[in-house]
Amino acid sequence: MGTSTKNLTLVENLKSKAIRWLEDNRGLVIVLFCLPASFLFDCAIQLRCWLRRLLFSAPKDHLKRVKVIQKYVQNWNKLPQNERKLMCTAKPNWLSLSTTFYQKSQCYQVPIDLFDILELNEEEMKIKVEPNVSVHEMTKFLIPKGYTLAVTLEIGDATAGGLAFGVGMTTYSHKVGLYQETIISYDVVTADGSLIHVTADNEHSDLFYCLPWSHGTLGFLVALELKLIKVKPYVHMQYIPVHSQEEYCHKMMELSGALNKDFPVPDYLEATIYDKENAVIMVGNFADVDTFAKRMKVNHITQWYKPWFYKHVETFLNKGGEEYIPIRDYLLRHNRAIFWVVESMIPFGNHPIFR
């Protein structure tokens, strides 16, 4: 018994030291292992998406795919009461942006293989999509047509369904509200296998207001309709440095229309705060780049060799300035660095040589 206890203690000590080493040297581990693995993973995912669109994309077959999901749920209902495990989607944890994982192997898993853009209604300014369509795919589809989602999260891998049942907002939210406030309808498979259409003013209106933030606990989302806005090819960005809490709070309230409902608010409004007193407020408006002077101020901020966006913004902390950013680059401006998360993992990640 004494030897077993010593061996167990030794293993625990080695495990603890290994974890501490990984934490202390996470930049090295990420560069040598995680980045190459992530690159190969991204290539595989892009190939998978391309093959799916090529071989399986069929918006007209949407209802057929939904019936498969209903069948899974109906089969669950046929199980004896004591054999009914909790239901969940079959989406693996490693594909999720969530930081809270649970053991799906202990659940009854329902495949939600819904990845298609179903319908664009330009007259009513809305788009209908399946829940696994990503922000990256929606912006790629919409922007060439002159539209984007009313609320477009800055992270390309976020999905329409994940945002609908979680929460999302962005720098256009001072005009339209949170992501959930731009949802027109949900199509949901309920726990008894029924397919229901949920809107704010039909017989399921109570569910319409409960689905946001429910994290998928009330049903399986199989489609949703989202509001669109018209855009121009570029965003004219103005960077306004501010140097006190009082100044940046008052300026943000003024620019967002909080102090005057008739104030002509900008299309996009954002601030990055660098310490207790210093921040840069970013004011963005849709724009065309139709002169040589404007073309000279175009900045493709998402190119691999460009600094992370919040680091780029920091250069305006003392002098302010302006530029023109292509609309898709602007909408996905925080995608590479995930704000300042990547810097905490790779402190040297923004160095020009590393980029």
Q: Are 239 and 269 in contact (CB under 8 A)?
A: no
300 shares its domain with 213: no
Q: What is the pLDDT of residue 98?
A: 64
Tokens of 149: 């989602």
Give the tens place of pLDDT for each residue, 138-171: 999 999 999 999 999 998 888 999 999 988 889 9
Flag whether 151 is in a domain. yes
Instruction: Dump pLDDT digits (tens) for 84-113.
Output: 999 988 887 666 666 666 778 888 989 998
Domain assignment present for 350 = no
Q: Which of 197, 216, 231 is the last residue of a domain?
A: 231
Tally of structural domains, the chain: 3
SS3 88: strand
309-336 mean pLDDT: 94
- Given a contact cutoff of 8 angstroms between Cβ atoms, the answer to whether 268 and 284 are in contact is yes
Q: What percent of the chain is helix, strand and coil (3-state, nearest 5)?
A: 40, 20, 40
162-217: pLDDT as tens digits: 999 988 889 999 999 999 999 999 999 999 999 999 999 999 999 999 999 998 89
Res 59: pLDDT: 78
Distance between CA atoms of 126 and 150, rounded to whole angstroms? 10
Q: Would you tell me how many other CB atoms lie within 10 Å of the CB of residue 41?
A: 12
Characterize 220-249 residue by residue with b for buried, 16 or more Cβ atoms within 10 angstroms of its Cβ, and e for exposed.
bbbbbbbbbbebebbbbbebbbbeeeebbe
> Percent of the chain scored above 70 by pLDDT?
93
Length of the chain in residues, anyone? 355
Q: Are residues 164 and 94 in the same domain?
A: yes
Q: Domain check: are 104 and 200 in the same one?
A: yes
352 lies in some domain = no
Q: Do 120 and 261 share a domain, yes or no?
A: no
144/64 Cα distance (integer angstroms): 30
81: domain CATH number is 3.30.465.10
> Is 212 in the same domain as 167?
yes
List C-alpha distances in Å: 342 to 37, 261, 315: 16, 38, 19
Strand segments, DSSP code E, in the chain are: 87-89, 108-110, 117-121, 126-129, 147-149, 183-189, 195-198, 220-230, 234-242, 268-273, 279-287, 321-326
According to the model, what pLDDT value does residue 99 have? 61
| Domain region containing 33 | 2-56
What the block records as the tokens of 176 is 């339209």
Confidence of residue 7 (pLDDT cuts 50, 70, 90): low
Three-state DSSP class for residue 26:
helix
119 and 264 co-located in one domain: no
Residue 261 covered by a domain: yes
87 and 131 together in one domain: yes
CA distance 237 to 142: 21
Same domain, 30 and 94: no
Same domain for 181 and 250: no
* 244 and 312 share one domain: yes
Could you tell me if 218 and 162 lie in one domain? Answer: yes
Local confidence band at 17 (pLDDT 50, 70, 90 cut-offs)? confident
Residue 355 lies in a domain: no
Domain boundary among 200, 231, 262: 231
Is residue 128 domain-resident? yes
pLDDT of residue 336: 84
Is 154:333 a contact under the CB 8 Å cutoff?
A: yes
* Residue 353 forms part of a structural domain: no
Q: Which residue has the tokens 């000279």?
A: 296
Do residues 214 and 275 share a domain? no
Helix (H, G, I), strand (E, B) or coil at 90: coil
Q: What is the pTM (predicted TM-score) of this model?
A: 0.84
- Is the residue at 354 inside a domain? no
Choosing from 231, 253, 278, the residue where a domain stops is: 231
Mean pLDDT score of the chain: 89
